[in-house]
Copies of this chain bind each other. A is one copy, B any other.
Amino acid sequence: MIKRVVTIADVASRAGVSKSAVSFALNGRPGLAEATRQHVLDVAREMGWTPNQRARSLAVSRAFAFGLILARAPELLSSDPFYPSFIAGAESVLSKSGYALLLQVLEHPAEDAAAYRRLATEGRVDGVFLTDLRHGDPRVALLSELELPAVTLNRSDVPSPFPAVCLDDSAPGITAATEHLLALGHTRIAHVTGPVEFMHSVRRRDAWRAALAAAGVPEGPVVVSDFTASGGAAATRELLGLDEPPTAIVYGNDLMAMAGMAVAQELGLLVPERLSVTGFDDTELAAYVHPTLTTVRTSPFAWGQEAARTLLRLVDSGSAPDVELESPELIVRSSTARPYGSPMT
């Protein structure tokens, strides 16, 4: 007993109309009597028919899917709160539009060019999300050569034909965090960054640097790290081992900040009494560690939504405007305080 799959032809014959009528009815196209349309729709529902996306794809030369390629080391991925929320946000708008999300994760970032190329030539997707932009990112040129539509998260520093969905993580994010520390009276404020090839790492560092300069405070030491807990711990150990250790550290993300706090505690250095710490991301745990972490809250979910909307607009109409997202917000908790020995105000 073979369970025949219902096709448009079945619906057409059952409804006593032609295939095109069914197609027109389904896609709500003009040129069909309202009565016919209703009838067809009823029959379709009754038969439980849904158009086969494979056939549809071939006919209209569209995949009805967007791609997201993640080229991060697994250990980096699993503790990063960004992607799950970003994806959830993107999905929330894509699924409503009948679009799917194709996720590809690469163990070796160097394979990414081949991956994009394959996605494009195989026709698996109609566009891609470009995240974790690097300086002089070659993917922008690659995708425009492949004529594969894309949306970038923040603007690339190379000429790009693609719309960008931007969330400025410097102001009032890192900037506010640094100013907060300055206002508390800190004058030796260090920074721990993520890998410098990422534009966002450098943007955060520059924001920290600018805030110090604006306040006329000498620039504290910078340690380049990698967004991991182990990297954050090592960086912290390095900073606290200096002759003149900082009294505050601005971290590029929460994970490094939390690991940093643990290192300080291990060294018998109380946070925030002897060391103030700020993070970035506002992961759920940030509010539940001891002491609770002062950090910067961004909205990856909203970012995902906007990116998806922009990509849909782009493939629908050939162009889409850049969009600017709401600025991140400084969440002051208890990992920051006046430097030890500073006078009460």
Contacts and interface: CB of A to CB of B under 8 A. Distances in A.
A288 B261 CA distance: 9
Contact of A101 (B80, B102, B122, B255): B102
Interface in A218-245: 228-230, 232-233
A29 interface: no
A83 interface: yes
A105 interface: yes
Nearest to A48: B121
Contacts of A147: 3
Taken together, the copies of this chain in the complex come to 2
A185 interface: no
Given A122-B53, A288-B259, A84 B95 contact: no
Given A54-B57, A91-B103, A101-B103, A262 B289 contact: yes
Main secondary structure of the interface of A (DSSP, over half): helix
Interface in A190-238: 228-230, 232-233
Nearest to A6: B121
Contact of A287 (B49, B229, B289, B301): B229
A124 interface: yes
A288 B53 contact: no
A81 B80 CA distance: 8
Interface of A: 3, 48-55, 57-58, 61, 63, 65, 74-75, 77-85, 87-88, 91-92, 95, 100-105, 107, 115, 118, 121-124, 147, 228-230, 232-233, 255, 258-259, 261-263, 265-266, 283-285, 287-290, 292, 300-301
List the 8 shortest-distance A-B pairs measured between CB atoms, nearest first.
A262-B290, A259-B288, A229-B288, A78-B84, A78-B81, A50-B121, A265-B290, A77-B84
